[in-house]
Amino acid sequence: MSEGGPPDNPTVGRPPGGASGPAEPAHGTVLAGASIAYEPGAVDRAATAVGGGGALPPPKRRAYLQQVVYDTFQNLRARFASGWIVLLMFLACFAPFLASSHPLLVKVDGKWSSPFVQHLGPADVVLPCVFVTGVVLLARRRLGMGQGVLLLIWVAAVTSVFAAGPDFYTALEAAGEGRGPVAGAWRLLARSPVLTALWYLTWVGMVAFAIVAALRWLPRRTAGVTAAILTPLCALLIVFPLRPPENVVYEQYRVLQAQGKTEFMLRTIVPYSPTDRLRDDPDARLTGPSAAHWAGTDAYGADLLSRMIHGCRIALAIGFIATGIEVLIGVFVGGLMGYFAGTIDLIGMRLIEIIEAIPRLVLLIAVTAAYGRNLYMMMAIIGLLGWTGDARFVRAEFLKLRKQDFVQAAVASGLPLRSILFRHMLPNGVTPVLVSASFGVASAILLESTLSFLGLGLVDEPSWGAMLEQARSGGAGFNWWIATFPGLLIFLTVFAYNLIGESVRDALDPKLLKRE
Amino acid sequence: MLSYLIRRLLLLIPTMIGATALIFFVMELSPVSVTNTLLSREGNVLPGARKAREEYLNRRYGLNNPPVVRYFKWLNGISPVGVKEAGEGFPGAWRFGFKTPDLGDSFPQSKKVSEIILDALPVTLLLQAISIPIAYGIAIWTGIFTARHRGKIQDIATGSGLLALWSLPVIWVSVMLIGFFANKHYFPWFPTGELHEPQSTEWTFLPGNGTRGWLLDTAWHLILPVVCLTYANFAYLSKLTRAALLDTLGADFVRTARAKGLGERVVLYRHAFRNSLLPLITVFASLLPVMITGSVVVEKVFSINGTGRMIIDSMLAKDTELFLSVSTITLLLQLVGYLLADFAYVLADPRVSYE
């Protein structure tokens, strides 16, 4: 493993008792970057522990970050919490397979068809693929932790590229006025060059990042498997983008079935799409839980359970992407501040103070009120305003690390700044960010639901917060099922992330380790 | 101490300019314009008249100026030192010097910003002035309780319970409370919103004349909002108290105190507790600005006209002056919070000094 392991792996030795805490992360350090003799298979076993197994005896030596994650998941509560989040991920990835108004398979007038497949969007295809890939990788236990995290980042990049897919193509088609997307691309560029160029750059950059990350950071075989699954898929989606019909008729198969015209019909478990307002059944508005609608219906007649399942996507996407932005900016800025100290640190701290002085919810309200309701805008704002906590953590760590011998050695041997900062210092100083990241996911999810609750969230999309708001404003007094179920979902998710965050903090705290 | 204070004050100036500039330009970039808001409120006029009206409004409110100019005009307005008319303020003859800060006018509401804020602020302050002491009181008690029973079942159960409490989204709690406890179909125990009954203005202050009186009425209306504002702070503060107390209880002087035979209560309250106060004070400093913005959700759900609702409304109407002023007040409160915290550190812990 020491041979094939990526150079990014933190290689700080750690005594078995785990006596070194965040205060002294480099305790017993050898020159970082030079490889420490891993016990063979240690990383594999750490990955097992992360995967929820953890039955093996703890290996003697682990990298610091791995040790912290291992300690975190020794905690039963953290395991339950991560189980809940994996369940939510499953729901998010397979949402249309679980809840859709379109039958999976139908036979009408002797003809077989699958309306379900015709209505799949790019995200509906890519997300399950990514989820399955992730499960396969975890099950085969070939990944170290650093690689696992990078895989997650990579997955986030891939999904965000394709989540933007339909909008992208619709805009291109609209600009092309019937002459196809290529003509549309040129016209768009001519109309507003700067914005469009930025847009293309982001697009190309995200795809390029996904591919480069896969080739560069994943182990060769894993990359091979992943690429074999995803590359043809990406190519297919880019050349022939999946575009579900613009005017979706939800009730046609229900009506056909009621008339007895369907010879065979296979439906999903919850046979309603999140935006299916049940126009064929006007009495279905605001009905409580029943056999037909397990969690009741909302003020417009849509099935609440279906909306809750599809809402997982928005919540998790906001949580992960906003936190990803936070961590990236926070680590970068905090690292520079801590390494250079002095004037850069002073300026950076003022910047942090300025940003912390603005309440995030208030600025989010400002932006959504001004620019309309846009999921990506929300993610960006939450991320751009939330990095200060991560930056403070990393800064504090780097201030301590910069005078340590191994950093001085790296400086003295003339390594480039990039290498000193990201290869040598970052693996030793990034661990506390785990705490702020998992609390950050919780607060990002909360912010989105609060915003939607205040009526400034996404329109028509199933967001948990917006559902909750209907409990009161939906008319006819208080609808307890609308209040209870989505609210419980928000609470459990936030609670799960906070539990994980707290057990990371416990794992980081040397005082608590002494107890054992 | 003095030089420390002065440094703090001076460092706040760039922070304030930076934060208000950020907010100003974010609002400025938006395509919504306050002139359009005003015009749409006036209803349909002839196209030519509309154009003239638009120009008039732009000129009247100074919207023709470039954003940078408007920002600095506003900044000069709120600053106690700056360009002023000759004949007012301190060196009276000069056109530059000390003057009364002016928060400006709210265009959509045609009122002075200071009047609007003074209407809304007492309501929010009342809510917070009740909920913060309650949160602190219960939190300190729970924190001490859990720290004393560290590692036992009481501690672990309370710990998870507090984390759960902290994770409860206020949007959910407020909706559930108002839905179940202010609802004639379930438990009609509490009013559904606002701070007073409409007829309470005619009532006496204390109960009498067959009414429950203004004071009791207000208290009754305040219960649910205060619960919503309190529980999360309370959970967070108790965890903080517990951590701080555990930190102190491991210190050498506590062992010494125990070794010389002091009782457990004396060790805990006289020796350990005062030394664990610092984190609680730090959090209080950051709670002050939250006082203004923190009750956005609660005020919306319980239809209370405080600053939280004002923030949303001013945002939606693109009332830049009002919004900037609220932000400025929040910033100032933060400064006050920090300064108070600095003083409180010295009071709580004699080892702290700023020399």
Residues B155-171 have pLDDT tens digits of: 888 888 999 999 999 99
Enumerate the residues of chain B whose CB falls inside 8 A of the CB of residue A510: none
Beta-carbon contacts of B85 under 8 Å, excluding residues fewer than 6 positions away, are B95
Residue in A446, A477, A499 closest to B169 by CB: A446
Judge whether A23 is closer than 8 Å to chain B, CB to CB. no
Which pLDDT tens digit goes with each residue over B126-182? Answer: 888 899 999 999 999 999 888 888 888 888 888 889 999 999 999 999 999 988 888
A467-479 residues labelled b (16+ CB within 10 A) or e (exposed): bbbbbbebeeebb
Mean pLDDT of B198-208: 75
Positive or negative torsion for Cα B132, B136, B138, B139:
positive
- Where would I find the H helices in B182-306? 213-249, 252-259, 264-266, 273-275, 278-293, 296-301
Of A77, A367, A450, the CB nearest to B26: A367
Contacting A residues, span 351-370, partner chain B, CB-CB under 8 Å: 351, 353-355, 357-359, 361-363, 365-367, 369-370
What confidence score (pLDDT) does residue B104 get? 82
pLDDT at position B224, please?
92
Tell me how far CA of residue B298 lies from CA of A28, A285, B118, B131, in angstroms: 51, 28, 19, 12
* pLDDT score, position A213: 66
pLDDT at A4: 35
As a whole number, mean pLDDT of residues B55-77 equals: 84
Helix (H) or strand (E) holding A311: helix A304-340
pLDDT for res A228: 65
DSSP A120: -
Rounded to an integer, what is the distance from CA A187 to the centroid of its chain?
Answer: 34
Rounded-to-integer distance, Cα A104 and Cα B143, Å: 55
What is the per-residue DSSP string for A313-375? HHHHHHHHHHHHHHHHHHHHHHHHHHHH-HHHHHHHHHHHHHHHHS-HHHHHHHHHHHH---H
Are B316 and A369 inside 8 Å of each other by CB? yes
The mean predicted confidence, pLDDT, of chain B is: 83
Query: Which residues of B fall within a CB distance of 8 Å from A359?
Result: 289-290, 293, 330
What's the pLDDT band for B259 if we cut at 50, 70, 90? very high
Which residues make Cβ contacts (< 8 Å) with residue A495, sequence separation at least 6?
Answer: A81, B163, B164, B167
List strands edge to edge, sheet with A262-266.
A111-113, A105-108, A262-266
Query: Among all residues of chain B, which has the CA nearest to that of A369?
Result: B316
Interface contact B27-A454, CB threshold 8 A: no
Nearest-angstrom CA–CA distance, B126 and B44: 42
How many CB atoms are closer than 10 A to CB A45? 21
Residue in chain A lying closest to B169 (CA):
A491
Low-confidence ranges of chain A (pLDDT < 70): 1-61, 122, 133, 137, 140-169, 180-181, 195, 199, 202-203, 206-207, 209-211, 213-243, 473-476, 510-516
Interstrand relation of A105-108 and A111-113 (parallel, antiparallel or unpaired)? antiparallel
Convert the pLDDT of each residue in B225-245 to its tens digit: 999 999 988 998 998 888 888
Q: Tokens in use for B269?
A: 């309250």
A380 and chain B in contact, CB less than 8 A: no
Bridge partner residues of A297 (DSSP): A303
Contact, A335 vs A357, CB < 8 A?
no
Query: Which long-range CB contacts under 8 A does B88-92 form with residues at least 24 apart?
Result: none
Query: A308 is written with which tokens?
Result: 């809750």
> Residue A394 and residue A400: Cα distance in Å, rounded?
10
Q: How far is CA A103 from CA A106, A250, A280, in A?
A: 6, 10, 17
What are the chain B neighbours of A495 within 8 Å (beta carbons)? 163-164, 167
Q: What is the pTM of this model?
A: 0.81
**Measured between beta carbons, which residues in chain B are less than 8 angstroms from residue A362?**
293, 296, 311, 315, 327
**What letter represents residue A359's amino acid?**
P
Calculate mean pLDDT across residues B25-51. Answer: 74
d(CA B56, CA B48): 12
Q: Which long-range contacts (CB under 8 A, 24 or more apart) does A377-382 make?
A: A378/A318, A378/A322, A378/A447, A378/A448, A378/A451, A378/A457, A379/A317, A379/A318, A379/A321, A379/A322, A379/A325, A379/A444, A380/A322, A380/A325, A382/A318, A382/A322, A382/A325, A382/A326, A382/A444, A382/A447, A382/A448
Which residue of chain A comes nearest to B300, CA vs CA? A454
In this prediction, residue A510 carries a pLDDT of: 60
User: In terms of pLDDT, which residue wins out, B37 or A220?
Assistant: B37
CB contact under 8 A, B327 and A361: no
Span A47-66, pLDDT tens digits: 444 444 445 555 556 777 77
What pLDDT sits at residue A495? 95
Q: Give the model's pLDDT for residue A2.
A: 36
Per-residue pLDDT for B64 more than 60?
yes
Mean local confidence (pLDDT), B199-221: 79
Show the tokens assigned to A114.
């699958």
- What is the DSSP-derived secondary structure letter of residue B182? B
B208 three-class SS = strand
Distance from CA of A89 to the nearest CA of B (A): 20
pLDDT at residue B76 in the model: 87
Q: How far is A475 from chain B (nearest CA, A)?
A: 13
Kindly determine whether residue B179 and residue A371, on different chains, have CB atoms separated by under 8 Å: no
The answer, for A240 touching chain B at a CB cutoff of 8 Å, is: no
Alpha carbon of B86: minimum distance to chain A alpha carbons (Å): 34
Using an 8 Å CB-CB cutoff, list chain B residues near A195.
none
| ipTM score | 0.86
If contacts are CB pairs under 8 Å, which of residues 478-497 in chain A contact chain B?
478, 480, 483-484, 487-488, 490-491, 494-495
Helix extents (H) in chain B: 2-29, 34-42, 47-60, 67-78, 113-148, 153-167, 170-181, 213-249, 252-259, 264-266, 273-275, 278-293, 296-301, 307-316, 320-348
Residues of B in contact with A358 (CB under 8 A): 19, 22-23, 327
Compute the distance between CA of residue A163 and CA of residue A168 in angstroms, rounded to an integer: 9
Say if A444 is an interface residue toward chain B (CB within 8 Å): no
Element housing A480 (H / E): helix A480-508
Residues of A in contact with B178 (CB under 8 A): 472, 478
pLDDT higher for B45 or A364? A364
Contact between B311 and A365 using a beta-carbon 8 Å cutoff: yes
Q: Please provide residue A462's backbone torsions phi and psi, each rounded to the nearest 5 degrees.
A: -80, 100
For A452, which residue in chain B has the nearest alpha carbon? Answer: B171
Q: What is the pLDDT of residue A231?
A: 63
Q: Which of A378, A468, A307, A456 is nearest to B171 (CA)?
A: A468
- Round to whole Å and give the CA distance between B74 and B321: 8
| Residue pointed to by tokens 């307005």 | B77
